[in-house]
A and B are shown apart, each in its own frame.
Chain A
């Protein structure tokens, strides 16, 4: 069965520094996708970045990068040059397979606090 684990309930980072949010996953399907979402205190869910299981290079989107280590089944999110607006809840998620409705499971989340 597929599973997503985020072991850091909360993280602190100084403004302008980089931070890594951990995510490990478990699946027996060779085809899967990994996602990160941000949930600010206002409550909306915002898609940040995507990594496919067959992608050779780590995904990057602006200040976000995904450190994909397939053998270790980890998909850590790296945020460079943290900003106060990065303070939010971050969810790692996984979609298994290529058929059906592309349903996705989510981890429990990591709350990031950016300090001025």
Chain B
């Protein structure tokens, strides 16, 4: 079982460039999430999708957009990358009240 697959694993962007982080799950989960992890701050929720066709802002949504393409896929887009968006990004999914299954993460550096 693949679980949650994130691509790419590493990315370096120049300030102002755009990119999309891809996430797909094969567990038929309804809910999907995007978090960022910064040193000393745990994980902070960027956006989430409770079900196919719905998305909502989390704690730190500024500078990001998301698309729930279908039940399997939930992408995160940075329209104009900034150095403050240098972070490790995790996609996660879950079913109902279960714990999350996380992807392996994307390490993004914006220079």
**A residues touching B (Cβ–Cβ < 8 Å)?**
4, 33, 35, 37, 43-47, 50, 52, 91, 93, 95, 98, 100-109
CB pair A95–B97 under 8 Å, yes or no, is yes
CB pair A44–B56 under 8 Å, yes or no, is no
Partner of A108, one of B40, B48, B58, B102: B40
Sample (30) of A-B pairs whose CB atoms are under 8 Å apart: A33-B97, A35-B100, A37-B99, A44-B102, A44-B104, A45-B43, A45-B100, A45-B102, A47-B100, A50-B98, A50-B99, A91-B43, A93-B43, A95-B97, A100-B50, A100-B56, A101-B33, A101-B49, A101-B50, A101-B51, A102-B31, A103-B48, A103-B58, A104-B100, A105-B59, A106-B42, A106-B43, A106-B44, A108-B40, A109-B42
**B residues touching A (Cβ–Cβ < 8 Å)?**
31, 33, 35, 40-45, 48-51, 56, 58-59, 88, 90, 92, 94, 96-102, 104-105
CB pair B45–A102 under 8 Å, yes or no, is no
Q: How far is the CB of A13 from chain B (nearest CB, A)?
A: 21
The A/B interface has a contact count, at CB < 8 Å, of: 64
CB pair B100–A107 under 8 Å, yes or no, is no
CB-CB under 8 A from A35, the residues of chain B are 99-100
CB-CB under 8 A from B31, the residues of chain A are 101-102
CB pair A44–B33 under 8 Å, yes or no, is no
